[in-house]
């Protein structure tokens, strides 16, 4: 089989998400989450949309994962704030 012997070029590692973009999205997300007007599913749409403004594809699996992480982090912080 000819394909088995030919070397395929290594796919480059995906570029990490820019820290400034993450910070910008977090700032926007904090404002959205503080309103308590959204479910987590709606927040995911909102946060991936913020990443879209930072020139990332809102359907990129890394963006979705990072958006979920941001939501969980800010959601937890908000719950702790309410508990005090």
In a domain, 66, yes or no: yes
Query: What is the 3 state secondary structure string of 15-79?
Result: CCCCHHHHHHHHHHHHHHHHCCCCCHHHHHHHHHHHHHHCCCCCCCHHHHHHHHHHHHHHHHHHH
Quote the percentage of the chain above a pLDDT of 90: 60
At 84, is the pLDDT very low, low, confident or very high (cuts 50, 70, 90)? confident
How many residues belong to the chain?
84
In a domain, 59, yes or no: yes
Among 56, 53, 47, residue whose Cα is nearest residue 26: 47
Whether residue 1 is predicted with pLDDT greater than 80 in this model: the reply is no
In a domain, 44, yes or no: yes
**pLDDT tens per residue across span 15-56:** 889 999 999 999 999 999 888 888 889 999 999 999 999 999
In a domain, 67, yes or no: yes
**pTM for the model:** 0.75
In a domain, 9, yes or no: no
pLDDT of 33 reads: 87
Total number of domains constituting the chain: 1
Structural domain including 70 reads 17-83
In a domain, 30, yes or no: yes
């Amino acid at each position: 089989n000819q394909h088995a012997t030919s070397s395929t070029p290594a796919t480059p590692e995906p570029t990490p998400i820019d820290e400034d973009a993450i910070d910008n999205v977090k700032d926007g997300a904090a404002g959205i989450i503080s309103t308590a007007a959204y479910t987590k599913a709606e927040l995911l749409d909102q946060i991936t949309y913020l990443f879209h403004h930072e020139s990332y594809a809102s359907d990129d699996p890394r963006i979705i994962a990072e958006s979920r992480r941001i939501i969980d982090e800010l959601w937890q912080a908000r719950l702790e704030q309410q508990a005090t």
